[in-house]
A and B are shown apart, each in its own frame.
Chain A
Amino acid sequence: MKKIMIALAGQPNVGKSSLVNAISDAHLKVGNFSGVTVDKTEVEFVYHDPKRDADYEIHIIDLPGAYSLTDYTIEEKVTKQFLRNDDYDIIVNVVDATNLQRNLLLTTQLMETGRKMIVVLNMMDEAQKEGIEIDAEQLARILGVPVIKASAAQGEGIDALKSAMVEVYEKPQTTAKVIYSDVIEEEITRIVAFLEEKHYRSPIPYRQLAVRLLQEDTDWYKRMHDEPIWIEILPILREGLQHIYLHSETKDLDAIFADEHFAFAKGAKMEVMALHSMRAQNPTQKIDKLLINKFLGIPLFLFFMWALFQLTFTIGAVPMDWIDAGFGWLGEQAHAVLGDGILGQVVADGIIAGVGAVVMFLPNILILFLGIALLETTGYMARVAFLLDGFFHKFGLHGKSFIPLVTGFGCTVPAYMAARTLKNERERLITLFILGFMSCGARLPIYVLFAGAFFGQDQAGNILFLIYISGALLGLVMAKMLKTFVFKGEEEPFVMEMPKYRWPSWRLIWHTVYGQALSYLKKAGTFILAASILVWFASNYPKSDTIASTYAAKIEHASTPEQKQRLQNERTSAQLEQSYLGRIGKATEPFFAPLGFDWRMSVALEAGLTAKEVVVSTLGVLYAQGDSADEQNGGLIAALRSNISLPAAIAFIVFVMIYLPCFAASAVFTREAGGWKYLVYLFFFTTGTAWVMALLAYHITRVIVGG
C-alpha cells in the first residue's frame, strides 16, 4: 500500500481541523477562533481510490494555522519548520472562500516552497450565503494547482479532495507558479537562462532557485556559496537587484516581495471571484453592535458568566442528589453483602465513598464544559478578548491571554499549551504563571461541596461565581506583580482577528461534552478509585492494639447507650489519628494550623497535589469513617458542616483556588515554561500566595462572623 504524507496548511480558523475530521473519523479540537490547534497532529486513514482501484494509506498532518510563513508566534514556527524541513508529499492549502484575497497571500508563500500542492476552497456554504461566487477552474489555471471546493461543515467536496490527493501524488510535479511583476519576471528569466546555459545541477526547479536568490534567501546563498558558479552568478544577481530597486521605493526585499504577493493575490481574486448580493445584512455586525458595545459589552459578559455558574449549581444539584443517594445506597448494600469486615469496609468506606464523592459532581462539570464549549465555538471568545484587552493591558497581560485563561477554567493542561498563541515570551510566561489561578474544572467539585455545605442553596451559585471571579482577579494582580518585578520589558502588539459568529455544531458540542464526561468517569474509575483505596488503608492502618483494648474496656463499662456511642467515636478518632495518614496529617498540621485546618483537611490538600478530584474523594473517605451516627446519614456535606468552622472553610476554598495544579498540569507547565526551575518557582509562588491569602481569608472571616 502506498503511503501519502499530506501537510495541511492554511491561515488560522479556516477549518483545517474540521476538514481532517470530515475526511477521517478523527475528533480533532475545533473552535471558532484563531489558534485552536497549537501543535501538529497526525491522523491516518486508508483510502480506496476507485479510479486506480488501489488502496492508499493517507497521513494528514494538521498544522497550526499561520497567517504567513514568518516566525511570529510559536505555533507559526511549528508550521514553518515543518513545511521547510519535514518529509511530506503534498501541501493541502485550506483557504477560506469568504476571505479569498487574504488567504491567497499565504498560498503564494506556500507555492514558493515548490512542493506539490492542492488548494481547498473551504466554507463554500458560507460563501454561497454571502453571495460570493468563485471560478475554481480559473483559479486552478492561475495558480497551476488543483483547486477543490469544499465545506467541511457539510461534508461537501471531501471525496473530490481524496481523489485529488491520489492524482497529485501519482502525477509528476505540476508547475505551480507565482507570477511577479514584469521587472522581477525579467530578472527571473535572465537567471534561469544562465542556469540553463551552465547546465547547473539544482535540486529545485531553476525558476524557483532564481526566486530564492532574488529574495536573498540565506539558506540558498550559503549552499551555493562554495560552488564555482557562484562568482559568475553574483554579478547577474547584483545587476538584477539594482534593476528591481530602481522600480520600487524601497530596497527592502521582504517588503518588495510582500507587495508582489499581495498584488498577485489581489489579481487572482479579481479574476476568479464575483460578489453577487451586495454585502447583505451580516449578522455578525449586528450581534457585535450589542456584544462588544462600549458600555454593554463587559456587563453582558459578566452576566453570562454569572448565569453559567448559577446554572452549574442549580441544574447540577438535581442529578447530584440522585447520584449521592445512589452511592449512599450502594454503600449500604456493600456493607450488607460483604459484611463489616475489611472487604466490606474497603468497598463501602473506601471505594464507594471516594469514587462516589467525585462522580457526584459530574453534572456540574458537564455544565461548565458546555459553557466553555459554547464560548469557544460561537466566536464570542475573541470578542471577550477584545473587551478585556484594555483592562488586561493595565495588568501586563495581553488580550489574547484570555484564550488560555478561559481554557484554564476547563482544564489547566490544554491551557498551558494554548498560551503558545502569545508571541511575546514574557507575556507568555506571565500567563503560564497565573494560569493556575483560573480554577480548573477539577476544583469545581470542591467549591460546589463547600459552597453547598456552608452557604444555602440559593447563595451557592453566587458563591461559585465569586470564587471564579476572585481567582481571576487575583491572577491579574499577580500578573501585574510579575510584570513589574520579574518579567519586565516590551509588549506584544495586539492585532487579532475577530471570527464571524457561527452556530455551534451540536454534534461537535455533544462530542466535547460527552468526551469530557467519559474521561471524568474514567478518571474516577481508575485513578480516583486507586487513590481512595490507598487513602482508606493509610487511614486505617496501622491499628493500635492499646487503643483498641483501652476503649474496649471503657465501652464495656459504659452505662448509657449515648456514652457508649461517644466512646466508640472517640475510639475511631484516636485510631485515625495514629494511622499513617493521620501521622502525615499531624506532621504537616503546624503548617496549616494558622489557617484553621485540621489534619484531615491538610491531608486532603496534600493528596490534591496529584489531582484536584482527590481532595474531595479523600475528604469523602476520611469523613465516611465519621464521628457520629447522625453524620453518617447526612453524608459528606453534613459531616463537613459539623467538623469545619466557616472561617476555616473559606480559608480552605481560598487555598484550593491558588495552590499548585495537579501533577499532569505541572509536567506540562515545566515543558511549556522551559525548565524545572520554573516549576520550583511556581511551587513556591503558588503555595506562598495560597498560604498568605488563606490566612487573610481566615482572619477576616473570623472578624466578620466572630468565630
Chain B
Amino acid sequence: MVLSQLHKGDTAEIVKLKADKILRDRFASFGILPGEQVVIHECSLAKQTIEVEVGRSTIALRKEEADKIEVEAT
C-alpha cells in the first residue's frame, strides 16, 4: 500500500521509499524514513495534497510524492 491510499485519521508505518535519490534525500531530511510512523491529518478535495505528521513535524505532500511512499497500516 502507498501513503496516498490512506484516509484522514489513518496511522501507518513507512516501509520503503520508491523515490529517486534527490527526493529520497529530501524525504530523509524531513524525517520521512522507513520505520517511522505517519498520521494522515487532512487531504484536500480530490486528494491532490495531503498533510501528514511524521515524528514531530507536520508535512504537506502532493499525491505524486505520496505515491512513492510505501506504508503498512498499523
Query: Which residues from chain A sit less than 8 Å from chain B, CB to CB?
Result: 11, 67-68, 70, 72, 98-102, 105-106, 252, 254-255, 258, 262, 284-285, 288-289, 292-295, 297, 382, 385-387, 389-390, 393, 399, 493-498, 500
Chain B nearest CB from A274 CB (Å) reads 14
- Could you tell me how many residues of chain B have their Cβ less than 8 Å away from some Cβ of chain A? 32
Contacts of A292 in B (CB 8 A): 41-42, 44, 51
Chain B residues contacting A100 (CB-CB under 8 Å) are 56
In angstroms, how far is the closest chain A Cβ from the Cβ of B14?
Answer: 12
- Within B17-64, the residues touching A (CB, 8 Å) are 21-33, 41-46, 48-49, 51, 55-62, 64
CA distance A73 to B23 in the complex (A): 12
Interface membership of B13, Cβ < 8 A: no
* B59 engages A72 (CB within 8 Å): no
Q: Is B65 an interface residue (CB 8 A)?
A: yes
Among B29, B43, B46, B55, residue most surrounded by chain A Cβ atoms (within 10 Å): B29
Residue of A nearest to B56 (CB): A99
Known: A252-B21, A500-B58. 7 other contacts (CB 8 A): A67-B26, A255-B24, A295-B45, A386-B51, A389-B48, A495-B27, A497-B59
Return 27 A-B CB contacts under 8 Å, by A number: A70-B26, A72-B22, A72-B26, A101-B55, A101-B56, A102-B29, A102-B30, A102-B55, A102-B56, A254-B25, A255-B21, A258-B25, A262-B33, A289-B42, A292-B44, A294-B42, A382-B60, A386-B51, A493-B23, A493-B65, A494-B49, A495-B26, A495-B27, A495-B61, A496-B61, A497-B60, A500-B58
Taking A285-B41, A288-B51, A293-B42 as contacts, is the C-beta distance between A493 and B60 under 8 angstroms? no
CB contacts (< 8 Å) of B58 on chain A: these are 284, 288, 497-498, 500
Flag if B51 contacts A390 (CB, 8 Å).
no
A68 and B60 contacting across the interface, CB-CB below 8 Å: no
Residues of B within 8 A of A390 (CB): 44-46, 48-49
Residue in contact with A102 in the complex, picked from B26, B31, B42, B64, CB distance below 8 Å:
B31
A386 in contact with B23 (CB, 8 Å): no
B residues in contact with A101, CB < 8 Å: 31, 55-56
Q: How far is the CB of A537 from chain B (nearest CB, A)?
A: 55
Q: Are B57 and A102 in contact (CB under 8 A)?
A: yes
- Give A288 to B32 CA distance when docked, in angstroms: 21
B-chain residues with CB within 8 Å of residue A258 when the two chains form the complex: 24-25, 28
* Beta-carbon contact of A493 and B26 below 8 Å: yes
Q: What is the CA–CA distance of A293 and B51 in the complex, to the nearest angstrom?
A: 11
> How far is A99 from B56 in the complex, measured between Cα atoms in Å?
6
Residues of B within 8 A of A106 (CB): 29
Number of A-B contacts (CB under 8 A): 117
Counting chain B CB atoms within 10 Å of each CB, the highest count among A11, A294, A500 belongs to A294
Set of chain A residues within 8 Å of B41, measured between Cβ atoms: 285, 288, 292
CB distance from A264 to the nearest CB of B (A): 13
Residues of A within 8 A of B51 (CB): 288, 292, 386, 498
Residues of chain B contacted by A254 (CB below 8 angstroms): 21, 25
State whether B25 touches A497 (Cβ < 8 A): no
User: Which chain A residue lies CB-closest to B43?
Assistant: A294
Measured between C-beta atoms, what is the minimum distance from A253 to chain B in Å? 11
A262 partner residues in chain B, CB cutoff 8 A: 28, 33
What chain A residues lie within 8 Å of B46 (beta carbons)? 390
> Would B44 and A387 count as touching, CB distance under 8 A?
yes
Beta-carbon nearest neighbor of A101 in chain B: B55
* Cα distance, A471 to B32, chains bound together (Å): 38
Specify which chain A residues have a CB less than 8 angstroms from the CB of B61 in the assembled complex.
494-496
Nearest first, the 10 A-B pairs at minimum CB distance are A390-B48, A67-B29, A68-B29, A494-B62, A498-B58, A102-B31, A386-B60, A99-B56, A389-B49, A496-B60
B53: min CB distance to chain A, Å: 8
The residue that A386 contacts in the complex, of B24, B30, B49, with Cβ under 8 A, is B49
* A99→B30 CA distance, assembly (Å): 11
Q: How far is the CB of A285 from chain B (nearest CB, A)?
A: 7
B57 close to A294 (CB less than 8 A): no
CA distance A548 to B56 in the complex (A): 79
State A385–B26 Cα separation when bound (angstroms).
Answer: 19
Q: Is the CB of A98 within 8 A of B56?
A: yes
Nearest Cβ distance between residue A288 and chain B, in whole angstroms? 6
Q: Which of B28, B30, B57, B65 contacts A494 (CB 8 A)?
A: B65
Task: Note all chain B residues with C-beta closer than 8 A to A495.
Answer: 23, 26-27, 30, 32, 59-61, 65
The reply to whether A399 and B29 form a contact with Cβ atoms under 8 Å apart is: no
When the two chains form their complex, are residues A99 and B55 in contact, meaning their CB atoms are under 8 A apart?
yes
Residues in B whose Cβ lies below 8 Å from that of A72: 22, 25-26
Whether B42 pairs with A493 at a CB distance below 8 angstroms is: no
Residues of B close to A293: CB separation below 8 A:
42
Q: Which chain B residues border A493 with CB–CB below 8 Å?
A: 23, 26, 62, 64-65
Shortest distance from the beta carbon of B66 to any chain A beta carbon, whole Å: 10
Q: Which residues of A contact B62 (CB under 8 A)?
A: 389, 393, 399, 493-494
A385 to B51, CA, bound (A): 12
* Contact of B45 (CB < 8 Å), options: A102, A288, A294: A294
Q: B30: which A residues are within 8 A, CB to CB?
A: 67, 102, 495, 497
B28 touching A496 by the CB < 8 A rule?
Answer: no
Measured in the bound complex, the distance between the Cα atoms of B43 and A389 in whole Å is 12
Q: Is the CB of A105 within 8 A of B29?
A: yes
What A residues does B27 contact at CB under 8 A? Answer: 495
CB <8 Å contact, A399 and B56? no
Nearest residue, chain B, Cβ from A295: B45
Please give, as numbers and ranges, the residues of chain B lying within 8 Å of A284 by CB-CB distance: 58
Instruction: Name the B residues within 8 Å of A11 (CB-CB).
Output: 29
Bound complex: CA A387 to CA B62 (Å):
11
CB neighbours of B42 from chain A (8 A): 288-289, 292-294
Alpha-carbon gap, A393 to B48, bound state (A) = 9
Q: Which residues of A are found within 8 Å of B23, using beta-carbon distances?
A: 493, 495
A495 to B31, alpha carbons, bound, how many Å? Answer: 12
- Are the C-beta atoms of B26 and A105 separated by less than 8 Å? no
When C-beta atoms are compared, the residue in chain A nearest to B62 turns out to be: A494
Residue of B nearest to A494 (CB): B62
A285 to B40, CA, bound (A): 11
